[in-house]
Amino acid sequence: MIPGNDTQNSEFLLQGLLMKPGLQPLIFGLFLSMYLITVFGNLLIILAVSSDSHLHTPMYFFLLNLSFVDICFSTTTILKMLINIQTQSQVITYEGCISQMYFYILFAVLDDFLLTVMAYDRFLAICHPLHYNVIMNPQLCGLLVLVSWIISALLSLLESLLVLRLSFCTDLEIPHFFCEIKQVVQLTCSDTFLNDTIMYFTAVLLGGVPLAGILYSYSKIIFSIHRIASAQGKYKAFSTCVSHLSVVSLYYCSSLGVYLSTSATHSSHSSATASVMYSVVTPILNPFIYSLRNKDIKRALKRVVHMAVIKWEIVLGLKKHP
């Protein structure tokens, strides 16, 4: 395409993971399975938290929101890739690419904010237990989630609008399996100084400030746990943080791995492969991490499954005896 202002009529080509053609069915089956497990696992968490009154607490309220965001995040990045493999087409429209970019940034930033809010929740629960219920009231919980959504939506809108002002060259092949903003900006023929500045500024801001908040919260948590006299008390206090700490470590380590792999190899395709870690693997592991180490979630999940089995048996019974 010739550079100009008519980029709205263009189409991009998503090169995907550049696997051999014979491996495409295997990749399709693998990613479809991972996507379905992600959706099913996070839906179970949402159902368990929603249906069990014992889980109507700030910690599980934030977990419910995190599970919803993970479903949306996986849908944004994986679904188009599965459709392209099935239809044997690499095409994504200009509008579709911008939309995918917007929602990808939105849910990635939301993940970051929600993990930070959850760290703050654990900090209050362990370091200020007497004031926890007063401080972390339903109004504050709702406000924290609402503010996270608003900031994420505004930042995503800003990044997307800055891409809309760009004109693109004839090379419209994106070496990725979704419209990752950095890869899209590299295809433009326009001046990208403003885009790069905003992109790196928000990356440092969103990577540094929430991480600093999480590290500060856990430094206070560790100090408070160290002051607990009994070993059982220390274990009980720390066990409430293990799942969240595992998810935080997985999220930031995978994101850092993408950055380091790209910097080391200067390869866009290496970035695409590494991106699978935080865009596919992290959302699929979150439900397992939170359910396997949490007795309350296990109990709620058993209740959900039990109720589903009873309803299914009732439906089958009605069908047999009209």
Confidence (pLDDT) at 239: 77
State the pLDDT confidence band at 317, using cuts at 50, 70 and 90: low
Q: Using alpha carbons, select from 14, 16, 77 the residue that is nearest to residue 272.
A: 16
| DSSP letter, residue 293 | T
Strand partners, 12: 92
Can you tell me the mean pLDDT for 237-254? 80
Can you tell me the mean pLDDT for 153-182? 88
CA distance 207 to 62: 20
Can you tell me the mean pLDDT for 70-99? 90
Confidence (pLDDT) at 55: 86
CB 192 within 8 A of CB 181: no
State the pLDDT confidence band at 272, using cuts at 50, 70 and 90: low
State the pLDDT confidence band at 104, using cuts at 50, 70 and 90: very high
CB 167 within 8 A of CB 188: yes
| DSSP letter, residue 97 | H
Question: Going from the N-terminus, what domains does the chain have, and what CATH number goes with each?
Answer: 8-320 (1.20.1070.10)
Q: How far is CA 200 from CA 197, 205, 215, in A?
A: 5, 8, 22
Please report the DSSP string for 146-189 in residue order.
Answer: HHHHHHHHHHHHHHHHHHHT--B-S--EESSSS--HHHHHTTBS
Q: How far is CA 152 from CA 39, 62, 103, 118, 275, in A?
A: 22, 16, 10, 16, 20
CA distance 234 to 239: 8
- State the angle between helix axes of 282-292 and 295-320 in degrees (0 to 180), rounded to the nearest 10: 100
- Please state, rounded to an integer, the average pLDDT across all residues of the chain: 83
Dihedral (C-alpha) 96, 100, 103, 107: value to the nearest 10 degrees? 160
In the block, tokens 């991009």 appear at 12
Can you tell me the mean pLDDT for 66-88? 90
CA distance 58 to 114: 12
pLDDT(1) > 50 = no
pLDDT digits (tens, 9 = 90+) for 185-217: 888 888 888 998 998 888 888 878 888 999 999
Higher pLDDT, 185 or 301: 185
CB 183 within 8 A of CB 174: yes
Can you tell me the mean pLDDT for 146-164? 94
CB 54 within 8 A of CB 314: no
Confidence (pLDDT) at 267: 54
In the chain, the percentage of residues whose pLDDT exceeds 70 is: 87
Please report the DSSP string for 230-268 in residue order.
Answer: SHHHHHHHHHHHHHHHHHHHHHHHHHHHHHHHHHHH--H
pLDDT(54) > 50 = yes
Strand bridging mode 173-174 / 11-14: parallel
In the block, tokens 């938290």 appear at 49
Sheet with 11-14: strands ordered across: 91-93, 11-14, 173-174
Q: Using alpha carbons, select from 160, 140, 167, 145 the residue that is nearest to residue 98.
A: 160
